[in-house]
Every structure is written in C-alpha cells, then in structure tokens.
C-alpha cells in the first residue's frame, strides 16, 4: 500500500469511528428521556425490552469502536495492513471492504474453515 491508500483508509476509519460515537451518544440520550416518563407497566416492560436490545447493539458497537481504534493505532505504528497470522500484506481491496481486519483473505478463509470444522 502506498501513503495515499493508507490516508484513504485512515479517513474511512476515522469517519466510521465518529459515526459510531455520535450514534452511541444519541442512543443513550434518547434512552434516558424515554425511560423517565413511562408510568404504565406495559410501556415500561417494552421499554426494558427495547433497552436490552439497545444494550446488545451498544455492546457490538463498543467492540467495533475498539477494533477501529486498534486499526488506527496500527496505522500510527506502521503495522497496518499486515496479516497478524502470516505477516503478508493484506490487499488494499480487502482493507477498503473491511478496514478493521487483521488477517489476509487466505488466513481468514483458512480460519473460517477450521472454525466450521470445530463447530461441527
């Protein structure tokens, strides 16, 4: 990857990160407002169900935020785009599709085959 490609990926990751953080804040604020004025137990129950659904999404988002931050750290360190399993370069095309990835397509597919075999 050249410098320009790294810059493109850095911008992509930064935008995704900002979007996730913004979305997370909106969701938390929305939840606080809605929960305060629900005297009806039925509304309350459905609010709680919504909330646990929201929390699951938040959990997934938090994990993604960590992955994005780790990817941005790797860009700073100069190790971004190198497969953590085999040490080969990950293709730019793959990184554009999935910038948080830490494995090249070969290692990833190999791992998936293994996981599937273990799962069965």
Q: Are 96 and 9 in contact (CB under 8 A)?
A: yes
- Residue 113 binds to Zn ion (criterion: CB under 5 A): no
Bridge partners, residue 82, by sequence: 89
Packed helices 41-77 and 3-36: angle between N→C axes, nearest 10 degrees: 160
- The rounded distance, in Å, linking the Cα atoms of 76 and 67 is 14
- Residue 72 binds to Zn ion (criterion: CB under 5 A): no
Binding mask 15-54 for Zn ion (x = CB under 5 A): ----------------------------------------
Binding mask 82-111 for Zn ion (x = CB under 5 A): -x-xx-----------------x--x----
User: CA 110, 116, 120: angle at the middle one, nearest 5?
Assistant: 150
* Min dist. Cβ of residue 49 to Zn ion (A): 42
Binding region for Zn ion (CB under 5 A)? 83, 85-86, 104, 107
């Amino acid at each position: 990857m050249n410098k320009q490609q790294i810059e493109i990926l850095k911008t992509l990751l930064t935008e995704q990160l900002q979007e996730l953080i913004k979305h997370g804040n909106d969701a938390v604020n929305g939840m606080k407002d809605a929960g305060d004025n629900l005297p009806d137990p039925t509304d309350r129950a459905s609010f709680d169900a919504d909330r646990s659904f929201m929390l699951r999404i938040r959990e997934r988002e938090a994990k993604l935020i960590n992955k994005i931050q780790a990817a941005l750290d790797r860009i700073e360190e100069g190790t971004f785009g190198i497969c953590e399993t085999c040490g080969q370069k990950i293709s730019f095309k793959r990184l554009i599709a999935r910038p948080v990835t830490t494995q090249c397509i070969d290692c990833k597919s190999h791992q998936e085959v293994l996981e599937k075999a273990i799962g069965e």
